[in-house]
Amino acid sequence: MSSVDIPREQWATRIGFIFAAVGSAVGLGNIWRFPFQVGQEGGAGFLLIYLLFIVVIGFPAMLVEFVVGRYTERNPVGALKQVGSGIWEYVGWIFIATGFVILSYYSVVAGWTIRYTILGLQDGYIADAAEAEAQFVSLASGLEAILLHAVFMAAVIAIVAVGIERGIELAVKVMVPAIILITIGLAIYAATLEGAGEAYSYYLSPEWGTIAANWQSIVPAAAGQAFFTLSLGMGVMITYASYLGENRNLAEDGAIIIGFDTAIAFITGLIVFPILFTAGVDPADPGAGAIFVSLAAAFGDLTLGWLIGAVFFGTVAIAALSSAISLMEVVVSYIIDERGVSRPTAAVGIGGGMFLLGIPSAYDLVLLDLFDLFADQILLVLGGLLLMILVGWSLSELAVEELQRGIGDLGSLASAWIWAVRIPVILVLLVALTLGILDYYEFLTGPFAEWIGEQ
């Protein structure tokens, strides 16, 4: 088998692995999705439930992906073949499919962030909301969108083609500190705005009445966001942990990674809400183009908004890049491990395929939704759920043993972890999957059917 003959790459340093995982976790999910989920779900109440789920759902689930990756030292397909039997062997394929679909349109959205960086530097942003929306619609689809999608994908291919140590590890060591510093800088700037006080109380003081009235929508949204933002259910953490050679303390690494991701999402709220409140924009105004419409319009309203906006969108583009490389690595590692193809060839082939699959998303926003909803709400949750069932219920001994390598005896903490996976994690994913399927059905029979009718 070719998979055994090829020497496997490894991270050169502990910090390299941590930065790579933080780079994967911090992405459009933190900077684009998070603030608008908060806005849509009514502010501080959502934030509170989200933080709770990060600890109760996200942390145990991340450790599951880590132990599977480090134990098998394989890509998700190879890993699941090794630890699962019967139909469980095929769960790895769901991760590959999820990665392939998500990156195809994530790259299109990342292309928009490049466009909006250039827009700020060249012409500045439009303050009028209706005009800003019209501008977004014209930039989001069409030839230019396809071109920027190609530029972004080429950058991802270039980094992944070079390899783990000299490609991904080197790139994230530059990108991640830059993202952290710029986000903190922008939050300090936002604190000086006149709408800051009002924004903070909206963002930070939960109203129990709002939580009680809306918990049915807050709970699944917060759970989905917790999973997405930590790059779970995509095979990323399995793949990245498979390049860990030594017996490291995975719980400590996981806690550091989650700490960074949560801090960046939280700080993004401290940037976005003061800007929106100062410009008089309603934070409950959501939609796929949210940061490109309401936030861009708010930048159009601020003194030096063009510069702040360009720095903001530039940072989002970098964050998207450090996430995208992790997702391409999932698929590329499969091709290298199982098919014996060289890394550069695998990166170019896979990247080319993802680019082609992304073209429909860059052609029409409805098609982007078609891919996004399917990958985010169904594939991702399904892959995550099956892995948690397998590890939580039939591989728990192996999992605990692997986690204890590098930590020592965990005592009752080990069973607390396994039971967290067995009950709350699985339950929440089941609910999220059910709601996701219903939502997708509504989309297919509603907006998508309408769109087909218009063609």
Beta carbon of residue 53, minimum distance to ligand PFF (angstroms, whole number): 14
Kindly state the smallest distance separating residue 450's Cβ from ligand PFF, in Å.
28
Segment 194 to 253, residues that bind ligand PFF, using CB under 6 A: 228-229, 231
Q: Which CB sits closer to ligand PFF, 231 or 361?
A: 231
Hey, which residues between 312 and 351 contact ligand PFF (CB under 6 A)?
323-324, 326-327
Q: How far apart are the first and last CA of the chain?
A: 49
Among 49, 68, 103, 275, binds ligand PFF (CB under 6 A): 103
Instruction: Compare residues 302 and 429 and give the one whose CB is closer to ligand PFF.
Output: 429
In the complex, least distance from residue 32 CB atom to ligand PFF, rounded to whole angstroms = 8
Among 28, 63, 91, 403, binds ligand PFF (CB under 6 A): 28
Q: Which helix (H) or strand (E) holds 208?
A: helix 208-229
Tokens at 265, concatenated: 């999402």
266 binds ligand PFF (CB under 6 A): no
Integer-rounded Cα Rg, in Å, for the chain is 21
User: Of the two residues 29 and 195, which places its CB atom closer to ligand PFF in the complex?
Assistant: 29
Neighbours of 340 (CB within 10 A): 13
Q: Which of residues 105-124 bind ligand PFF (CB under 6 A)?
A: 106
Cβ(256)–Cβ(85) under 8 Å?
no
Alpha-carbon distance of 64 to 391, in angstroms, equals: 7
Residue 113 C-beta: closest distance to ligand PFF, Å: 12
Q: At a CB cut-off of 8 Å and minimum separation 6, what does 156 contact? A: 103, 107, 321, 324, 325, 328, 351
Q: Can you point out the beta strands (E) in 94-184?
A: none
Q: Let me know: does 373 contact 443? Beta carbons within 8 Å.
A: yes
Q: How far is the CB of 180 from ligand PFF (least distance, A)?
A: 15
Q: How far is CA 302 from CA 127, 278, 333, in A?
A: 9, 8, 45
CB neighbours of 102 closer than 8 A, spacing ≥ 6? 234, 327, 375, 376, 380
CA dihedral 387, 390, 392, 393 (to 10 degrees): 160
**Do 205 and 44 contact (CB within 8 A), yes or no?**
yes
Q: How many residues does the chain have?
A: 455
Site for ligand PFF in 403-422 (CB under 6 A): none
Q: How many residues bind ligand PFF (CB under 6 A)?
A: 16
Q: Which residue is nearest to ligand PFF (CB)?
A: 29
Give the whole-angstrom CA distance, residue 229 versus residue 62.
Answer: 11
Site string for ligand PFF, 43-82 (x = CB under 6 A): ----------------------------------------
Residue range at the interface with ligand PFF (CB under 6 A); choices 101-109, 185-193, 205-213, 276-284: 101-109
Q: Are 92 and 79 in contact (CB under 8 A)?
A: yes
What angle in degrees, to the nearest 10, is found between the helix axes of 44-53 and 196-204? 50
Region for residue 163 given its phi and psi (left: phi exceeds 0; alpha: psi -120 to 50; beta: otherwise): left
Q: How far apart are CA 327 and CA 331, in angstroms?
A: 7
Residue 384: CB minimum distance to ligand PFF, A = 13
From 20-28, 138-146, 301-309, 412-420, span contacting ligand PFF (CB under 6 A): 20-28
Start-end of H helices in 340-425: 343-363, 365-373, 380-389, 396-404, 412-420
CB of 157 to ligand PFF, least distance (A): 13
To ligand PFF, the closest distance from the beta carbon of 163 in angstroms equals 19
Identified binder of ligand PFF from the candidate list 11, 20, 23, 27, rule CB under 6 A: 27
Nearer CB in complex with ligand PFF: 107/135: 107
- Least separation in angstroms between CB 80 and ligand PFF: 20
From 21-29, 163-171, 302-310, 413-421, give the range in contact with ligand PFF by CB under 6 A: 21-29
Shortest distance in whole angstroms from residue 436 CB to ligand PFF = 16
Binding site for ligand PFF (CB under 6 A): 24-25, 27-30, 102-103, 106, 228-229, 231, 323-324, 326-327
